[in-house]
Structure 1
Amino acid sequence: MATLTLQNNIASGFHHEKQMETTTNTESIRDWPNEAGQFQTLHEERKPVEVRTTGSIPAYAAGTLYRTGPASYKVDRGEKGEYKCSHWFDGFGHTHRFEIVAGDDGKTKVLYNSRRANDELIESIKDKGKYGYVTYGQKKDPCIGLFGKVMSYFTPPTDPGVVNVAVTVHPNMPGLPSSASGHKGKAKSLWTASDNSKFKELDPLTLEPIGIASQKTLHPLLKGPMSCAHAQTDPKTGDMFNYNLDLGRVATYRVFKTSAATGKTEILATISGFGVKPAYLHSFFLTEDFVVLCIWGAHMEGTGLKIITEQSIVDALSPFDARKPTKWFVVDRKNGKGLVAEFESPAAFCFHTVNAWQEERDGKMDIVGDFSEYGNLDIIHSLYYTNLTSEGENAVTFRDKSGESSMPNMVRYRLRDIGKTTISRNRGRTIPKAEKIISIPKRQGGELPTMNPNYTTRPSRYIYSVVNRGLSTFMDCLSKVDMESKEVLFWDNPKGHTPGEAIFVPDPEGTDEDSGVLLSVVLDGFRETSYLVCLDAKTMEELGRAECEWAVGFGFHGKHL
C-alpha cells in the first residue's frame, strides 16, 4: 500500500528521511525502472475494454479522462538500425481515454482505449531515417542542408498522422471547425495542442487523428509559428485565451481571446519593442479581468529565426542570463484597454503556472499568482532521454552535475496596484517589481501542477504535483502543498511506481477546496503495467484503482469531463 508522509516547512531544517538518503547514493536511482513502460510504450487498445477495478472510485468521478503525450521515442528501422528521438518533448504522441461509468448499484467500472497519433510520421522515419521538421530538441542531423531546413520550416506537414502535437488536450475548443460529427456526451470535438500555433483534431471516441488547424484559422494576424500549449479558459464563459508569437525583425506577441459563444477571435494586445525578447513560454496566467503574460528567461538567439537553421527550439535558445529580468505584462481582457501594467522580477524560468486571482487592497487592485519556478534552464536539458530514463546513459551524471538546479520551487508572486488604463512602453519609465511572497522548498512542490478547477481565477490554497525527491531518474511521488500553512503531504507508492499528473475531480457536495479526488496514471516499473489510481484529495489516501495489464505512457497532461 502507499505510504503518507507529512512535512511542515515551518519547522526549520526538517527533511523527509528519503530525501536525505538520496543525496548520498545517486546510483540507486537506476533501481527505479521506468524505461520500458513510461517512455517506450507501444500498446494500443483501439476499442474500449473494461479493466479490473479494486477499492472504490466515487460515482461523482464518472466521466471521461483524456490523457495525451509522448509514449515512445524509438523507431526500429530493421537493418538500417534504430532511430531515437533526443528529447522527451519530441516523443511520438499517444492519447488515452479512461471512461469511468457509475452503475445503479453505486459501483463504478472503468473502460480504457488508446491510439497512437503519429503512425505516418513513424513510417516516414523508417523510410528516411530523420524527423524532417522543426522539433523541440532533436539533436542535429548533419545530412540536412540549409535549403532543406528552410523548406521544412515554411512547408510544414499537413497530414494529421505526421504532425506531432500532443502536449495538452482540449475538448470543444471554440473557434475551430470540427471534422467530428454525431458524438453524444460532453466532448463534441477533441483537440491537442503544443508550444506552436498548430492544433490536431482527434475523434473523441476512437482517438483517431482526423484533422489539423492553426491559430491563423482563428484570426489572420495569428500567423506566428509559436504559442502556448496551455491555453487558458474562462471558468464562467468558456472563452479561450492564448498568445501567438511572430518572429522576424522584432518579436511580436499577440494576446487574443476566442469567444465560446460566437467562435470569433479578437486581439486583446500586441506586445513588442524595447526589452521584449522572443522566448519559449509554455503557460501564462488568467484572472477575472486580466491576462498576465510572463516572458521568462528562455530567450531565443537574436530574432528567434535561428529555429530555422537549428531545426530545434532548444538549440535556438540563448544561454540563460541571470542579468535579464523576467518581464510581466498585464493585459485587460474585458474593456479593450490593452496593456495596462508591466512588471519585472529576477531572471527565472517556468513551465507551468497554477492559478492567479485579483485582490483588493486599500482601494487598489493586486494580482496574485502561483507557479513552479526554476533558477535557470537546466530542467529543459534534464528532459533529454539520455538524462531522463532509468536506462539513460547520463541519468546519474547529469543529476550529479545539475543537482538542485533542475528542481523547482513552488512560489507565489504579487503584482501591486494594477491600473485600469492603457500604458505606453518607453525606455524612460520606471518599471515596478513583482514581489515573491511565498516559496516552498525544492523536492516538495514539483511539476505538472494541478488544483481544484472550481477555484480557477479565485484565491486558492492547495496545489497537487508530481515530485522528484531523488529516488528515481524521473518522478517518484505525488505531493499536496498547502500554500497557506506551508505543509506538504506526500503520496508515494512502493519503489518503482511512477505517478503521472494528478487531475482533480471536485466533489459536487463538498464544501472545502480540497473536497474531491485525484486521478493519476501510475506505472509499476517492475511489472511494466499501469493503473489509474483514485486518491482522496484531502487526505491523499488511496480510495481505489483501475488496473491495466499493459503500460500506459506517462505523457504530459489530461482533462476530465
Structure 2
Amino acid sequence: MTAPPSLDQYFTQGERIDTFSNAQYTSAPEFNDPIWLDVHGEIPSWLQGVLYRIGPGKFTLGDKDSRSMTISHAFDGLAYVHRFEFDGKNQKLRYNSRCTAKTYEKNLLDNPLGGHSSFGNVHGKGSAWEHFMDFLARSKKSIRTVEDASARSVNVTVTPNYPLPNSFDGPGPVLVAKTDTNMLQKVHHDTLEPERLFDYSFYNDKLIGQLSASHHQHDVFTGETFNFVMSLGPQPRLTVFKISKNGNTEILAEITNNLDANNTPFRPAYMHAFWLTQHYVIIPVAPNYIKNHALDLAVTGNLLAGMEWDPNAPSWLYIVSRDGGHIATVPVDPHFAFHTLHGRDYKDEDGNVVLELNNEAFADGSVLFSTSTLTDVARADQVQDRDDRRSAAAAKPVHLSGFQVPSAHDFTKSFGDLRQYKIVLDKEAPRTASKGNFTTLVKNIEFARIHPQYQFEKFDHVYFNFILPGEAGKRGDQYGIKKIVLSTQQELVWQPDTSDAYICSEPVFVPRPGATDEDDGVVISLINIYDNRGADQDRCYLLLLNAKTFTEYGRIPLGQFTATTFHGSFVDQEFVDGSFN
C-alpha cells in the first residue's frame, strides 16, 4: 500500500509514555571528517587506542520548513557512534562521529506508519486501517531483505573485534553495533560508515528469534562469544548459543519450559544483559513480560506498549552449561536489572556449585516504563516545576498507543542497587533443590564497570554513575561518577564545582599496560553540561581521571552541544594499526 496522500497529521509530537515530562532531547552534530581536539591538562602518556561510544544522538528529524518529526523517548533517538583516538605520546586526540541511521530517518519521514518499531516513541497517528497496514508492513520486514546498511537504528552497544559470520568476506578491524532486537550493524572502524545489517541467523539458521541482548558476553581467555535469541508468539523459545574464536556457532540450549516441579512454560520478557562464569551462562528473566503472546507488540510495534510487570512472579535465573544443556531454573525475588557486572563460580565445602552473580537491580521492575526520563535532567530553575508536574501526573493512568502501562520508577531520584546473588546448585537435585539469595553491596548505582582482566576473579574496585537530585533554585540534577573499594567501603567521588545540571556517561576503565594494581589506570567519561543560563550555553567534554585518586588528568572539550551516549568500548593501538588476532 502506498502512503496516504497527506502525511501532515503524523508530524506532531504524538503520544508519550512520560506525559508529565517536557524533556526536549537535542540532536548532536556530526563530525564525519575527523578533527583534532585541544587537551586541557594531559593525556596519560601510555594511553594509546580508541574509545567508541554509541547512543541515541538525533531526536529532531527532517527540516522544520518541510516535513519533520520529534522523537521524545530517550531510547529511540537515531543511532550515533562517536570515535575518540588517543595518542598519549604526542598529547593528541582525534575525534569523529556519525549518524548511522540515515535511511531509517528518511523512511520514518516518508511514511511514519510504514512498519517501523520502537522502544517507547510513537511515530505517527492515523486511522485504524492505516495502523492495520502498519502492522502488516512490520510483519513482512526481514533483515535479509534490507540492502541499505543505515536502514535501521542500532544504538545501544558498540563492540570492536566482534566475531562475524563465516560467510562474510574480508579481514580487517571489525566494529559491530548491537541492540535488544535480533539485529546487528557492521560499522567501519575508522569512518563509522554503516557497512552491513545482519542478524544471528547469519551465524546459524536456527537463531531466528526477534529479541536478543545488547550486552553479549565474551570470555577473554577462550575467545568465545555468548548471547541468546528469544522467539515470541504462542510458542516462545529462548535459544542460548556461543560463537567460537574461529567463528563456529554452537547452540547450548533451546528452552521452552522451566526446570521446576510444575514444568512451567517459559514466558518471554524484556532482557538487556546476562552473566557468564567459567562454566555457565546465566540468563535472568525478570517478570517484565511480553504480554498477550506478543500480540500487543506486533500490533503497535512498540516494546513498552507490549510489556507488563507482574509483581507476584519471581525473577527466574536460567542456568545453562557452557558445554551444553539447561541445568536449572532458579527463582529469586522479583527485580529488574538493566546491567550485570560480574559472574564467577566455585564449589563450596559440600561440593555444591556456587554462582556468585553481581547486577544492578531495581526492586521496582516498572523502572522500564520511566526510561524516557533517563537523560531528562532539570536545570536549577526547572527542578520544582518538573517535580510538581510529575507528582500531579503520578496517579493518572498512562497510555501508549492506546495501551495502558504501569506507573514508573522516578529516575531523577536514584538508580538501583548493586546486588551480589549467590546461587547454590544442589549437587544431588540441581533442578528442584537449588536456591539463591542476595546481599546489597552499593546503593544508587548504574553503568558500573570494573577492570576488564578481573573476569571470573574476585574484584574490589567498581566505577559507576550515581544520581544527586537537583535542589530548586540552587542546583540542577547531577549524574556523577563514583569509585568504591568494596573491601573497605571507601568512596571517591568526582563532581565538578558547579550548580549546573550535568550527566556523566558510563565510566570506562582502561588499565595501564604492565600495571599490577587493580585500580592502576584511567577512567574516561563523556560529560554533558546543561547550563543553568540556558540551552545555548550547554556543552560537553571528555574527562580523564586517575583511577587511583579520582583526580583529573585532563579535559578535552568537544563543543557547545550535548551528546547522549549509553555505552562505550576501549580498544588498544593494535586494533588501530590492524595488528590484532
TM-score in same-fold range (> 0.5)? yes
CA 1:385–1:410: 2 relative to 1, 3 Å: closer
Amino acid at match of 1:477: G
Equivalent of 1:42 in 28, 39, 46? 28
Residue 360 of structure 1, CA deviation:
3.0
> Is 536-545 or 222-231 further displaced after alignment?
536-545
* CA distance, structure 1, for counterparts of residue 478 and residue 427 of structure 2: 41
Name the structure 1 match of 2:152: 163
Match of 1:270 in 2: 254
Contact 1:341 1:419 in 2 (8 A): no
The answer to whether residue 362 in structure 2 is matched with residue 374 in structure 1 is: yes
1:330 aligns to what SS in structure 2? strand
Q: State the distance in 2 between where 1:140 and 1:226 align.
A: 21
Separation (CA, whole Å) in 2 of partners of 1:513 and 1:387 = 31
Q: Distance in 1 between matches of 2:219 and 2:167?
A: 21
**Offset, 1:465:** 1.6
SS of the counterpart of 1:42?
coil
Distance change >3 Å, CA 543–CA 265, structure 1 → 2: same
Contact 2:82 2:97 in 1 (8 A): yes
Specify the alignment match of 2:275 in structure 1. 285
Q: How does 1:214-253 map to 2 (within 5 A)?
A: 214-253=199-238
Amino acid at match of 1:440: V
Name 2:101's counterpart in structure 1: 118
Q: How big is the alpha-carbon RMSD for the aligned residues of Structure 1 and Structure 2? A: 2.8
| Distance change (3 Å), C-alpha of 1:294 and 1:397 | farther
CA distance in 2, matches of 1:205, 1:173: 15
2:484 maps to 1:485: no
Displacement of 1:419 in angstroms is 4.7
Verify the 8 A CA contact 2:528 2:562 in the aligned structure 1. yes
> Which residue matches 1:108?
91
| Cα separation, partners in 2 of 1:403 and 1:530, compared to 1, 3 Å | closer
How far residue 552 of structure 1 moved from its aligned partner, in angstroms, is 5.0
Alpha-carbon distance in structure 1 between the residues aligned to 2:118 and 2:478: 24
SS at match of 2:98: strand
Aligned positions of 1:55-134 closer than 5 A: 55-79=41-65, 82-103=68-89, 107-129=90-112, 132-134=115-117
Alpha carbons of structure 1 residues 112 and 355: separation in structure 2 relative to 1, 3 Å: same
Are 1:191 and 1:199, in contact at CA under 8 Å, matched by a contact in 2?
yes
| Aligned residue in 1 for 2:372 | 384
The answer to whether the 8 A contact 1:301-1:316 is kept is: yes
**1: CA distance, partners of 2:299 / 2:457:** 43
Provide the secondary structure at the position in 2 that maps to 1:534: strand
Aligned to 2:321: 332
Q: 1:65 to 1:351 in 2, by over 3 A?
A: same
Partner amino acid for 1:510?
Answer: A
Distance 2:221 2:506 in 1: 25
1:546 counterpart residue number: 556
Asked if structure 1 preserves the Cα contact closer than 8 Å seen for 2:426 and 2:434, the reply is no
SS of equivalent to 1:384: helix
**In structure 2, which of residues 177, 182, 185 is the aligned counterpart of residue 192 of structure 1?**
177
**Corresponding residue for residue 501 of structure 1:** 506
Equivalent residue, structure 1, for 2:422? 414
Report runs of 4+ in structure 1 exceeding 6 Å deviation.
391-394
1:396 aligns with 2:387: yes
Residues 221 and 473 of structure 1: CA distance in aligned 2, closer, same or farther (over 3 Å): farther
Query: What TM-score, normalized to structure 1?
Result: 0.84
By how many angstroms is 1:473 displaced? 7.8
Q: CA deviation at 1:88?
A: 1.2
Question: 2:515, 2:356 → 1: CA distance?
Answer: 25
Question: Could you tell me which amino acid in structure 2 is paired with residue 506 of structure 1?
Answer: P
Q: 1:309 aligns with which of 299, 323, 336?
A: 299
Rate the CA distance shift 1:78–1:399 in 2: closer, same or farther, 3 A. closer
How far off is 1:155 after superposition? 1.1
Asked if the contact 1:331–1:340 (Cα under 8 Å) also holds between the matched residues in 2, the reply is yes
Partners in 2 of 1:470 and 1:480 — Cα distance? 19
* One-letter amino acid of the structure 1 residue matched with residue 281 of structure 2: V
Amino acid at match of 2:505: G
Change over 3 Å in CA distance of 1:403–1:249 after alignment to 2: closer
Shift of 1:385: 5.3
Counterpart for residue 337 of structure 2: 350
Shift of 1:190: 0.8
Shift of 1:277: 1.1
Comparing 147-156 and 274-283, the one that deviates more: 147-156
Q: Is 1:360 the equivalent of 2:347?
A: yes
| Identity over aligned pairs, percent | 24
Report if aligned partners of 2:74, 2:375 keep a CA contact under 8 Å in 1.
Answer: no
Partner of 1:20: none
How far residue 289 of structure 1 moved from its aligned partner, in angstroms, is 1.1
* Structure 2 letter corresponding to 1:285: W
What is the match of residue 196 of structure 2? 211
* Aligned ranges 1:462-477 → 2 under 5 Å: 462-471=461-470, 476-477=479-480
Question: One-letter code of the match for 2:34?
Answer: P
1:300 Cα offset (Å): 1.1
CA distance in 1, matches of 2:44, 2:426: 42
Inter-partner Cα distance in structure 2 for 1:125 and 1:354: 36
Deviation readout 1:497-542 (Å, 9 max, x if unpaired): 3211111101223222222111111113233222111111122221
Distance between the aligned counterparts of 1:528 and 1:473, measured in 2?
Answer: 13
Q: Which deviations, in whole Å up to 9, do the C-alpha atoms of 1:317-343 show, x marking residues without a partner?
A: 01x22210000111110x33x122321
Q: Distance in 1 between matches of 2:457 and 2:389?
A: 39
Summarize deviations over 1:244-268 as a string: whole Å, max 9, x none.
00112222101100012x2111101
Matched letter for residue 339 of structure 1: H
Gaps of 5+ in 1: 1-29, 425-429
Selected match of 1:323 from 312, 332, 346: 312
Q: Distance in 2 between matches of 1:235 and 1:289?
A: 14
State how far apart, in whole Å, the 1-side matches of 2:509 and 2:232 are. 37
Query: Contact between 1:531 and 1:547, CA under 8 Å: does it hold in 2?
Result: yes
Name the counterpart of 2:403.
none
Equivalent in the alignment of 2:517: 512
User: Are residues 227 and 204 of structure 1, via their aligned partners in 2, closer, same or farther at CA, if it must alter by over 3 Å?
Assistant: same
Partner of 1:12: none
- Cα drift, residue 55 of structure 1: 1.6
- The offset of 1:113, in angstroms, is 0.6
Measured against aligned partners, the alpha-carbon deviations of 1:262-315 in whole angstroms (never above 9, x if no partner) come to 211110111112242100000000111111111012111032242111211111
Q: Tell me, what secondary structure is at the counterpart of 2:435?
A: coil
- Quote how far apart the aligned CAs of 1:456 are: 1.7
Distance, in Å, in 2 between the alignment partners of 1:370 and 1:155 is: 37
Aligned residue number for residue 579 of structure 2: none
Give the aligned partner of residue 440 of structure 2. Answer: 438
Contact kept, 8 Å, 1:174 with 1:239, in 2: the verdict is no
Secondary structure at 1:145 match in 2? helix
Distance in 2 between residues matched to 1:77 and 1:98, nearest whole Å: 29
Relative to 1, partners in 2 of residues 1:221 and 1:552: Cα closer, same or farther, differing over 3 Å? same
Q: 1:109 to 1:296 in 2, by over 3 A?
A: same
- 1:457 is aligned to 456
Whether the 8 Å contact between 2:449 and 2:462 is mirrored in structure 1 is yes
If asked which structure has higher relative contact order (CA below 8 Å, sep 6+), I would say 1
Q: Deviations over 1:385-412 (max 9, x none)?
A: 5982548999435764545886311111
Instruction: Give the Cα separation in 2 of the matches to 1:387 and 1:505.
Output: 25
Distance change in 2, residues 1:346/1:470 (3 Å):
same
**Any idea what SS the aligned residue of 1:555 has?**
coil
Query: Are 1:51 and 2:37 counterparts?
Result: yes
Unaligned runs of 5+ in 2: 1-20, 258-263, 395-408, 532-536, 572-581
Aligned equivalents of 2:446, 2:207: Cα separation in 1:
29
Would the aligned equivalents of 2:28 and 2:57 in 1 still touch at CA under 8 Å?
yes
> d(CA) in 1 for partners of 2:427 and 2:568?
35
